[in-house]
Structure 1
Amino acid sequence: MKKLIVIALIVASCGPAATQNKSKKKGKQENPKPAWLNAKPMTDQYYVGIGHGTKDGTSNYVQEAKKSALEDLVSEIKVNISSTSVLTSIDQNKEFRDKYEQMIQTTAADEIEEFESVDSWEDPVNYWVYYRLSKQRYHEIKEQQKRDAVTLALDFFTKAKESERGGNSIQALGFYYQGFRSVEKYLAEPITLTFEGKSIILTNEIYASMQGLLDNYQVTTTPSQLSLNRRVAQSNISVMAKAIDRKTKLPLGDLPLKAAFDKGSGDVFPTYKTDASGQAKILLTKIGSRDLEQTVGVSVDLLAFAGENPSPIFALISSKMTVPKASVLLSVQRPLVYISSVEKNFGVTKSNQQVTNKIKNFLTSQGFELTDEKKKAELLVDISTDSEKGAVSGSIYITYVTSVIRVSTGKENKEIYATTLERIKGYSLDYDRASQEAYNKSLDTLDKEKLPELLNAILQ
């Protein structure tokens, strides 16, 4: 009996279930998760990054893992902001400094050098990679890059000072920017050196020199106040901006300016350069807001010194600079509109003028004023609508509504906009209700398509 039990146990241990269990255990041993996946390695010698990619067939999971590993690695590299750095002198706000740190880390992930792949691990769904970077080697590379950057920045700084002393302050601003661009990754630390026998903090000096030049510029607009029609093209407006040197009163030619609505909205050409007389004509083509009082600001365009692709860091720093600025106060007049309309149901005048009321409400909401005196109106709007009976299909009646809308100028009676809502179809249990349905659909078409077109046409 004992022999039979032993034989049975041996057979059971060799059965399929036992074999599967052994295979599972063996499988687990063949591809165990490495220790660095369970706990990120901590070391004084290396920056460490662990990255992950998903094998979902929609992306290159190896590159995805590499990218996330480098981002993880870079997150260990801290930016220590000195109390004497230009960042601290510009703004004590922690949010400002955090933005700078984030920008530095974003660019560092793309520029990191000499990292090494330590290990990788994968299963059918996931791919993990382990990178590291020698802290000592990283700091050696960064110090060399910093020395090169400082040499270049000092060269531009010297040229800027020479241009400034030669009376070419705009060229000086350009050189100061290039010097700034060279060392923008090192704004968190004081770069102390000797210039013309004096000890200076280079980044702070570049920033202060740029601000000093800007403080000496004056921008004015003529006129500074303007009364104009909401339909700008009818106002014959002309705004000139002028830039001069406060000390010498001489015009500043080739100075980049920018214009934008500070209050209200509309279309104003954004960028300019002053001519030899220091002037630029500001091009205002459209008033988009219904506000009766609006403002357009004209200021020195610092980002223009950076070319077409200013760095995010310079954009951040320049936003803290005080730039010369002038404003144009716009007193906007509401155009007078006269509306004539005939709305019908099957040739009979309707008591409820749905299309007309929709257009009236839209125009008043957009800053136009309605008038009953046609002679005073700047715009004439004519509306004509009617419904017609269509076929009957069983108990369903079909009706079509056609609407014609025309807009003309009051003085010249020149048509500036015309549209037709052709045979908008309505269905219902009788013709009257089908007509109402078609009118309702016409109102939807007006809202979504025609009224924005109409507004754009009459504001040109």
Structure 2
Amino acid sequence: MRVTSIFPILIFSLALTLFSCKAKKQAESVPPPPPPPDWVSERPTSSMYYVGIGIAGKVSAGANYMQIAKENALNDLASEIKVNVSGNSILYTMENETGFKEDFLSTTKVSSSVNLEGFEQSGVYETPDSYYVFYKLSKAKYKEIRDARISTAISLSKQSRAEGRQQASNGNYSQAMQNYYQALSSLEEYINEPLKTEIDGQEQYYGNILLKEMQQLANELTISPVIQEYTITQGNVVPDDKTVFTIKDKTGKVQYGVQVVFSMGDEVLLKEKAISDHTGKVNSSVGKIKSTGRNILKAKLIADLDNKKHKVIGRVLDNIQWPSTAMIILVEAPRVKLIVDQKKNGAEVSSAEVFQAFSSAAISNSFMTTEKENEANLIAKIILTSKESGVYHDLYSVTFSGYLSFHDAKTNAEVFRESFDGLRGVDLNYDRAYNKGLEAFKKRLIYETIPRFRRKHLD
């Protein structure tokens, strides 16, 4: 019995010993990871190559850690390529423009990392936690590829320029400007370069030629307002047919399809951009102007209404002296004639206090009163009726009802109405109760009703 009980224990111990020896032998047979290459610990430098090293953590990057490391290496490689600014380049003429160079460098960096060609993978290193990629690009090869791209871009640009020159000779300046815009857009990545090429049998700096010719195109056009000045009462919408401009060339030929941008100080326009129609007309939409005074609506020609795709070229074209003009919109405070119908217990009473309260509210809310109906823009009418409504616990009560309305003086259309029903005065006799109720009415008129009218109709 004793031998039998010990035997299983001996078998288990022997198996455990054999397994441990096997595991130890397998562990001893796995070679240690290779040491990291020099480029992992110290960034290489070379006069012949641009280098880029990308790293991705396996945990943080997930299953795409290899791809992310490669993208990081490309971005690193692109950051080594310095942008030199030629003294005969478009960029050189724009360097004093705030933020322009930064916009260009940002655009170039993104484009370079996406469009890099000719690079080669020089090494890969991997640890249990990280993945490393090493790229390099021959500087000579990069220059060769870039020069070829510049040559292609100039060729495409020249085609657009040729079309633009033809359109201009036919008097179609809108299409000519679009062609020149496209000609510049083809060169967007290379405006730091001199872009030297043959024009009319001579070597010339092509970017500067384009800008010069585009300025000449702009100089051929004029824009003028159909109405020089328009007066409107505050609270009314400026009609769109009063903000019309005409675009012509210097021969008087109207221009179709020309793009225009509008502005008017801090006012937010309903339509800030437009394109001229077949009659050369173009208009803004101003809407309602909140404040009184003199407003200047400006109109300016531009080459492209939507330059988000070519932000850098949009900034370049801001330096063109585009034809512009302006019209004046005078906004006057409304003049209001007040009519009061006030009754106390069915009998007419003096409305002097109501007139005085209304005049005070008018001054506070930026409009004027007038006694002449032919001078008024608005007719205000106050109906106010009071009646004695009884005595309760020795307190006398007077109830007020009525309304205030505003009508357009020309059309008689009602533009505002508010009821005064429910106002009440309570005191020790009817006269004092009436006076208290009238004071409550005047306070509501001055501090609530008239400001509400201003916000709804004038603001």
What TM-score bracket applies, with the shorter chain setting the length?
A: 0.5 to 0.7
Q: Pick from 245, 249, 252: which aligns with 1:249?
A: 252
Q: Match for 2:44 among 41, 44, 53?
A: 41
Q: Once the 2 structures are TM-superposed, how far is the Cα of residue 238 of structure 1 from its aligned partner?
A: 0.9
Distance 1:225 1:103 in 2: 44
1:157 aligns with 2:161: yes
Question: Which structure would you say has the larger Rg?
Answer: 2
Residues 1:283 and 2:288 aligned together = no
In structure 1, what is the equivalent of residue 309 of structure 2?
310
Give SS of 1:81's match.
coil
Note if contact 2:333-2:367 (Cα within 8 Å) is conserved in structure 1.
Answer: yes
Equivalent of residue 148 in structure 1, options 124, 148, 152: 152
Question: Structure 1 residues 335, 147: CA separation in 2 closer, same or farther (over 3 Å shift)?
Answer: same
Query: C-alpha offsets along residues 165-213 of structure 1, whole Å, 9 cap, x if unaligned?
Result: 2332322222212211112211111122223323322211111111111
Note the aligned Cα RMSD (angstroms).
Answer: 4.7
Give me the whole-angstrom Cα distance separating, in 2, the residues matched to 1:116 and 1:70: 10
How much has 1:278 moved relative to structure 2? 1.7
Identity %: 19
- The answer to whether residue 301 in structure 2 is matched with residue 296 in structure 1 is no
Distance 2:324 2:284 in 1: 14
The alpha-carbon distance between structure 1 residues 225 and 35, as it changes in their structure 2 partners (threshold 3 A), is farther
Contact 1:51 1:130 in 2 (8 A): yes
Indicate if the aligned counterparts of 1:220 and 1:242 stay in contact, CA closer than 8 A.
yes
Sort the Cα spacing of 1:99 and 1:381 in 2 relative to 1 into closer, same or farther, 3 A: farther
Match of 1:24 in 2: none
Measured at CA, do residues 236 and 82 of structure 1 come closer, stay the same or move farther in structure 2, by a change above 3 Å?
closer
1:328 alignment partner in structure 2: 327
Q: Rate the CA distance shift 1:119–1:162 in 2: closer, same or farther, 3 A.
A: same
Q: Counterpart of 1:40 in structure 2: which amino acid?
A: R
Matched letter for residue 326 of structure 2: S
Q: Mapping of 1:180-199 within 5 angstroms?
A: 180-199=184-203
> Separation in 2 of the partners of 1:236 and 1:165?
34
Give the secondary-structure state (helix, strand or coil) at the position aligned to 1:180.
helix
Q: Describe the shift of the 1:281–1:235 C-alpha distance in structure 2 as closer, same or farther (beyond 3 A).
A: closer
Inter-CA distance 119–372: structure 2 relative to 1 (3 Å threshold)? farther
User: How is 1:276-425 mapped onto 2 (pairs within 5 angstroms)?
Assistant: 276-288=278-290, 290=291, 292-304=293-305, 309-335=308-334, 364=365, 368-369=366-367, 378=378, 409=407, 411=409
Please say if 1:228 is aligned against 2:232. Answer: yes
Distance in 1 (CA, whole Å) between partners of 2:82 and 2:199 is: 30
User: Residues 251 and 454 (structure 1 numbering): CA distance in 2 closer, same or farther, change over 3 Å?
Assistant: same
- Kept after mapping to 2: 8 A contact 1:34/1:121: no
TM-score between both structures, scaled by the size of structure 1: 0.64
Residues 234 and 161 of structure 1: CA distance in aligned 2, closer, same or farther (over 3 Å): closer
The amino acid across from 1:50 in the alignment is G
2:422 aligns with none
**Inter-partner Cα distance in structure 1 for 2:335 and 2:237:** 15
**Aligned equivalents of 1:87, 1:453: Cα separation in 2:** 55
Any gaps of 5 or more consecutive residues in structure 2? 1-31, 339-356, 383-402, 420-449
Match of 1:134 in 2: 137
Letter in 1 for 2:285: L
CA–CA distance in structure 2, aligned partners of residues 236 and 152 of structure 1: 41
Tell me which amino acid in the other structure corresponds to 1:369.
F
Shift of 1:456: 7.7
Change (3 A) 1:87 1:57: closer
Offset at residue 255 of structure 1 (A): 1.2
Q: Is the 8 A contact 1:87 1:97 kept in 2?
A: yes
How many residues are aligned here? 361
Question: What residue identity is the alignment partner of 2:216?
Answer: G
Q: CA deviation at 1:123?
A: 6.1
Indicate yes or no: 2:117 matched with 1:113: yes
Structure 1: distance between partners of 2:125 and 2:407: 74
Instruction: Give the conservation status (yes or no) of the 8 Å contact 1:260–1:268.
Output: no
